[in-house]
Amino acid sequence: MEVACLANNIKTTNEENGSLSYADDVVAAIAGMAAVEIDGIASMCGNLGNGIAELLGRKTITKGVKVEVGKEEAAIDIYVIVEYGALIPSVTDSVQTNVKKAVETMTGLRVIEVNVHVQGVHVEGKEEIKEEKHEDKRVK
């Protein structure tokens, strides 16, 4: 099990016995893990920074997730690639439900919205063909 220290934009809530803080990346990690649990999700779709981190051998568990976290609420945007043949409305409904449940259960924050952005469709076998062609062009 991998443990990561995530420390961007920490939100603090004052409680009777002290305070409770959540870094935005903690909520993003929970949301991302909940999203990839859903059948029909091929992968998360990250930004350029995520791609560079992966090239350097670092996995980013917040890839494809953007969150806004307040003291009591969270809004989440999830960017995904779906499997070809999946019923996209059903898959995205399941992602929304699972992400909301996971974040609310684990943090106590009220999730006001989970927006799922389908960025592409993964077709089995096509990725391998592209990679093979690309490798043939680079080195002989």
- Please report whether residue 3 resides in a domain: no
Kindly report the pTM of this predicted structure: 0.74
- In the predicted structure, residue 132 carries a pLDDT above the cut 80: no
Q: What mean pLDDT comes out for the span 93-114?
A: 98
The pLDDT value recorded for residue 20 is 85
CATH number at residue 124: 3.30.70.1350
- Please report whether residue 65 resides in a domain: yes
Tell me the residue range of the domain where 95 lies: 10-138
* Angle in degrees, 0-180, between the axes of helices 24-36 and 88-107, rounded to the nearest 10: 140
- Please report whether residue 90 resides in a domain: yes
Instruction: Specify the higher pLDDT residue, 73 or 4.
Output: 73
CA distance 92 to 86: 10
Domain count within the chain: 1
User: Could you read off the pLDDT of 43-97 as tens digits, one per residue?
Assistant: 998 754 444 444 445 457 889 999 999 989 999 999 999 999 999 999 999 999 9
